[in-house]
Amino acid sequence: MTLTEPLVFEPLFMERVWGGRKLETLYGKKLPQGVRVGESWEVVDREEAQSVVHTGVLRGQTLNELWTDFRDSVFGTRYRNAGPRFPLLFKLLDAEEKLSVQVHPPSAIAPELRGEPKTEMWFIADAERDADIYAGLAAGTTRAAFEEALANGTVAHLLHRMETEPGDCIFIPSGRVHAIGGGNVIVEVQQNSDTTYRVFDWNRTGLDGKPRALHISESLRSIDYADAEPRFQPAGAEPLVECEYFRIRHWALDEPREAGAVGDFSIVTVLSGAVACAGLEFGPGEFFLVPATLANRTLQPVEAETSVLLTEHP
């Protein structure tokens, strides 16, 4: 099958105690009423959550059905021997309040902990004044010092805090302790995993009024204690982020650009302005998949100051 337009999926909205309503005000997402939406899962292939195509000849197909039944046409022939699920997951996060301090297990120990490794990237799409994130540890922090601070409820001073502005980007490999501060809207690109170990939750209660579960032993085993004071990705880096799981480019589209080569797929996230591709137009906060067999894969800026993220699988 040769496809003639990008694939667009229905977002899945996730209620979170720390969420808000900015995905509605910033991007026009049709959120459920009266719900604090913290996450919009834009492209996902999980047993518990499936993206569904909502336009074109493949309308109604789930992402897993595309990966299983239309792999050559949508993703490219080099994935014929890949695993049973699409390997990436794309989200928009609206952190009205700060998230828990957490970590994802490194691949070397994830099976032993009955979890999945999860390396991810955060791109700050919007940030209020004084918004921040935490990533990595303060220099000189040892496991013993971290455990003592955890017992005393004073973990925050051992975390590396970074104030955020729109356009900031940070790489979060498995093992890097992290937390998102309130006031951030973030594009997250990650491995297809949903394993998160909470090590500290700011003494907060969940939606049911009870303290949320913590995963102290798993977290302490997963944290990379040598990971001190990481920095944001260099502005203008090309690619912006590259690892074994994904390659991400940040383009200011002042002229048309090609979304990769025919024979492979890419996923485009519109950050600002508007972009047209193969007859369809997309605005801020929208995601679309450029199929491997799409011949017309030109990204055409429709408005001034159009910018996008282009994600490829290495």
pLDDT tens figures, 142-157 = 999 999 999 988 999 9
Per the listing, tokens 């699409």 go with 86
In this prediction, residue 129 has a pLDDT band, given cuts at 50, 70 and 90, of very high
Question: Which of residues 294 and 55 earns the better pLDDT score?
Answer: 294
Calculate what percentage of the chain has a pLDDT beyond 70. Answer: 100
Q: Could you identify the residue written with the tokens 């912006």?
A: 240
Q: E-strand spans in 114-183?
A: 120-127, 132-137, 159-163, 169-172, 178-180
Number of H helices and E strands in the chain, helices first, is 5, 22
Confidence band (pLDDT; 50, 70, 90) for 301? very high
Tokens describing residue 12: 């899945």
- pLDDT exceeds cutoff 80 at 40: yes
Burial of 134 (0-12, 13-18, 19+ CB in 10 A): buried
Q: How confident is the model over 66-96, as pLDDT tens digits?
A: 999 999 999 999 999 999 999 999 999 999 9
Cβ contacts of 55-62, under 8 Å, gap ≥ 24: 55/5, 55/7, 55/8, 55/280, 56/3, 56/5, 56/7, 56/8, 57/1, 57/3, 58/3, 58/7
Q: How far apart are CA 46 and CA 201, in angstroms?
A: 26
Q: State the pLDDT at residue 110.
A: 95
Tell me the pLDDT tens digit for each residue of 158-215. 999 999 999 999 999 999 999 999 999 999 999 999 899 999 988 777 777 787 889 9
pLDDT at 252 over 80: yes
Look at the block and give the residue holding tokens 């492979």: 264
What's the Cα-to-Cα distance from 155 to each of 130, 137, 141, 240, 288, rounded to whole Å?
20, 10, 11, 31, 39
Residue 108 pLDDT: 94
Given a cut of 90, whether residue 292 has pLDDT beyond it is yes
Percentage of residues of the chain with pLDDT beyond 90: 92
Q: What is the pLDDT of residue 242?
A: 98
Kindly report, residue by residue over 271-282, the tens digit of the pLDDT: 999 999 999 999
Positions marked active-site: 198
- Structural domains of the chain in order of their starting residue, each with its CATH number: 12-222 (2.60.120.10), 241-312 (2.60.120.10)
- The per-residue pLDDT for 88 is 98
What is the structure's pLDDT at 202?
83
CB atoms closer than 10 angstroms to residue 80: 9
